[in-house]
Amino acid sequence: MFSNKMEFKETFLRRLEMTCGKSFAESTKRDQYDTLGNMIREYVSLNWIETKEKNRVAKNKQVYYLSIEFLLGRLLRHNLINLKIDQVVSEGLAELGIHLDEIEDVEVDAALGNGGLGRLAACFLDSLASLNLPGHGCGIRYKHGLFEQKIVDGYQVELPEQWLRHGHVWEVRKADLSIEVPFWGKVEVSEENGRMIFRHVNAEMITAVPYDMPVVGYETETVNTLRLWNAEPSPYPINRDIMQYKRETESVSEFLYPDDTHDEGKILRLKQQYFLVSASIRSIVRSYRKQYGSLVDFHQHISIHINDTHPVLAIPELMRILIDEEQLSWDEAWHITLNTISYTNHTTLAEALEKWPIRIFQPLLPRIYMIVNEINERFCKNLWDLYPGDWNRIEEMAIIAHDQIKMAHLALVGSHSVNGVAELHTEILKKREMKNFYEVYPEKFNNKTNGITHRRWLIKSNPKLTDLICDAIGNDWIHKPELLEKLEAFKEDSVFLNQMFLIKKLNKELLAKRIQDQTGIVVDTSSIFDIQVKRLHAYKRQLLNILHIMHLYNRLKEDSSFNMYPRTFIFGAKASPGYYYAKKIIKLINTVAEKVNNDASINGKLKVVFLENYRVSLAEDIFPAADVSEQISTASKEASGTGNMKFMMNGALTVGTLDGANIEIKDRVGDENIFIFGLKAEEVLNYYQHGGYRSMEYYHHDKRIRKVVDQLTNGFFEGVEDEFEAIYDSLLMQNDHYFVLRDFASYIQIQRDVDTAYKNQQKWLQMSLMNIAKSGYFSSDRTIEQYAKEIWSIKPVGQFTTS
């Protein structure tokens, strides 16, 4: 399409006129964005076709990553970088008087996910393509992604997100590949030639229409596919009000559920899950049959990964196809299914473990229910053989018990691999949460510590640091991120460290400008930028952070000689709309911000900023500007975390508990380059099991605690006296389930250590350097290589086009 700047400009101008029907002079930024986006999508289409063809001809084993969430963010710049045409394009545009940044700003984030789990799926897609691995995503094309957050008077207000309002240049609708997904109806059972035949009749069909997006690998010809399914009315006849049917149908892909840790318990959620699974598996099987005919070797050529339990119906759905359509025996079908499906667990939070009442499940998915029931019966029978007479154990482990279907149990039984997302998390699964299952299937359990794509989270979001690294150690680390370790050699190089300092300063200035534009708050860029950005949840303990800020404020007010390095505390967090407590924390952060930021007597030593509508594109500006990364969850609660890795890769130092992947970060950077505090997981779990913690004692014995807790309700925040009662009660009346007060003293102390450390700039920069140098392990390339080798057995194909 173009191979140099001149050609690019010519093509761009021609295409702009042709697609928008306007002259260049008349064109808007959106016209320019659409033109460029379409051009780039077409630019990759030959390789897209070629990749599919290569996989088909070579009969490569493929993996399909089924996920109810893909938190993609923006794609324009990311694709330009991966194609290595970002420079040609930005220079070409500049010669036309267009700034690429401005065009990029037109792109709305594709926010089809809530947080960690969805963003992980997006990072994995990037790594799969960049490593030339045949791996594709399957998800839902929600009309509205995660809600847009506004802060009004300190409160979160939710607005529907509208990413498709202007269309989406990266997708291709493939209506000819639509799939009919059946719901409701009943199953007729008959016997024909000695075989049981199951017919799902009177079903109501929903048409799943695929929209494919190219997933472009870095410096490679590989272009994989992300297939998102759109729910549309089916042309099949229905016996009911057509308008109601249309509304109900479309609602299946209308909204992303705005929570990844609570089971909303809605029928629509179950519909979404089966819709995703059924459409994806039927379409995988359809193309498989075209190539191979029979499904007997399916598992040799196809791997299906389920990202948490949301797509777990993949297990009975594949069984259904193999038995009802392919006419295999139960045992044959089970062998294929088990060897095809693998499962990742992302959390041990009880409220996230999905359970469906039979009364909802059975009528909606009658044939699938029969299969789940059969799986359960066979499983319980096996358990009986293993543990004769141990009813309690069997009842606890059953897939169906007390009129409910336990999705995690189905996943554990029907997958050949079960992995946690960080070492500690996997150990907790094995030793506690899934102990019974681990005893039966020890060979299934394994760990795959999460990772992040360094292409988005370093190369794209921090170009200056990227250039500095390349100047210092060359470019090889881009393909082998563990080579970032070579940076260690610059630990004593004051010129290099000073450049790091200047880059951080520049990134802080950019963020400061954004803060001022968005909130009006002026922040001091020489202060410590101390940042906590993630979903708002009690276990993530944004409360601990804000109570500590209140404590610092108290110190500054009480003691004019209190010496602290100026700090800017920055928050970004969305609370699930129905999560009352989390919303109160947002209000508290904003209330503290209001008070602290407007108190001239503290001489700007403390600033508090809440950035609204935290999302991928905002995160890309935040991570590069951070000095301190807050990873302060109650130990044992955060399965892994991935923000911790993004901060580290951009040179921020972690203040964290020994939770999730923080532990592995500490193991790599060493105790001297991280700030660890608080209870350990073992201690927390022992408290939960045996009791012994009384938050009231901490309140009474530590006057620093008493002061901040009392301030929640004693009128310290004028006009909002009743606002924070729920928080006060959670800490004292409900015995502080997340150990905020228990960890408070140790948190104050570690924050003093941060203060002292930052004052020694040279030392701080060395610590920061060590974090960047050791971050290569946390690239999702390493994680995906492990999945590819140890779970999916897939191999790279294709070759790099350039060096």
Interface with ligand CBF (CB under 6 A)? 115-117, 120, 260, 346-347, 421, 450, 638-642, 660
> Nearest distance from residue 126's CB to ligand CBF, in Å?
15
56 touches 291 (CB < 8 A): yes
Buried b (16+ CB within 10 A) or exposed e, 772-796: bbbbbbbbbbbbbbbbbeebbebee
Mapped to the 3 state alphabet, what secondary structure does 600-663 carry?
A: HHHCCCEEEEECCCCCHHHHHHHHHHCCEEEECCCCCCCCCCCHHHHHHHCCCEEEECCCCCHH
CA dihedral 730→731→733→738, nearest 10 degrees, is: 70
In terms of CB distance, is 185 or 451 closer to ligand CBF?
451
Strand partners, 144: 255
Q: Round to whole Å and give the CA distance between 438 and 358.
A: 26
**Annotated catalytic residue, options 78, 454, 508, 540:** 540
**Annotated catalytic residue, options 454, 535, 567, 605:** 535
Select the residue whose beta carbon is closest to ligand CBF and give its number: 116
* 508 included as an active-site residue: no
> What separation in angstroms does the CA of 201 have from each of 240, 366, 576, 781?
16, 10, 39, 46
* 310 included as an active-site residue: no
In terms of CB distance, is 82 or 640 closer to ligand CBF?
640
> Nearest distance from residue 123's CB to ligand CBF, in Å?
10
The secondary element (H helix, E strand) that includes residue 417 is: strand 417-420
In terms of CB distance, is 367 or 637 closer to ligand CBF?
637
In terms of CB distance, is 230 or 347 closer to ligand CBF?
347
Q: Round to whole Å and give the CA distance between 218 and 385.
A: 51
* 642 included as an active-site residue: yes
**Annotated catalytic residue, options 136, 227, 534, 537:** 534
In terms of CB distance, is 258 or 660 closer to ligand CBF?
660
Name the DSSP letter for residue 567. E
In terms of CB distance, is 117 or 788 closer to ligand CBF?
117
Helix axes 116-130, 780-787, angle to 10 degrees: 80
> Nearest distance from residue 448's CB to ligand CBF, in Å?
9
Label residue 565 left, alpha or beta by phi (over 0 means left) and psi (-120 to 50 means alpha): beta
In terms of CB distance, is 69 or 204 closer to ligand CBF?
69
169 touches 30 (CB < 8 A): no
> Nearest distance from residue 450's CB to ligand CBF, in Å?
5
606 touches 562 (CB < 8 A): no
Q: Round to whole Å and give the CA distance between 193 and 293.
A: 23
HSE, side-chain direction, 13 A CA sphere, residue 210: 21
**Annotated catalytic residue, options 168, 346, 444, 460:** 346
**Annotated catalytic residue, options 309, 453, 634, 642:** 642
Strand partners, 226: 137, 213
The 10 Å Cβ neighbour count of residue 339 is 17
> Nearest distance from residue 71's CB to ligand CBF, in Å?
10
In terms of CB distance, is 214 or 660 closer to ligand CBF?
660
**Annotated catalytic residue, options 168, 646, 668, 774:** 646
Annotate 261-322 with DSSP letters as a single string: SS----HHHHHHHHHHHHHHHHHHHHHHHHHHSSSTTHHHHEEEEEESSTTTTHHHHHHHII
CA-wise closest residue to 79 among 287, 224, 177: 224
> Nearest distance from residue 637's CB to ligand CBF, in Å?
8
**CA 730 to centroid of chain Cα atoms:** 28
**Cα-flanking dihedrals φ and ψ of residue 232, to 5°?**
-135, 160
CA-wise closest residue to 276 among 135, 71, 66: 66
In terms of CB distance, is 86 or 354 closer to ligand CBF?
354
List of residues 6+ apart from 446 with CB closer than 8 A:
417, 418, 419, 426, 790, 791
> Nearest distance from residue 260's CB to ligand CBF, in Å?
4
> Nearest distance from residue 120's CB to ligand CBF, in Å?
4
* 173 included as an active-site residue: no
> Nearest distance from residue 195's CB to ligand CBF, in Å?
42
> Nearest distance from residue 640's CB to ligand CBF, in Å?
4
Q: What is the largest CA-CA distance in the chain?
A: 92
In terms of CB distance, is 135 or 316 closer to ligand CBF?
135
**Cα-flanking dihedrals φ and ψ of residue 526, to 5°?**
-95, 0
Q: Annotated active-site positions, please?
A: 346, 534-535, 540, 642, 646
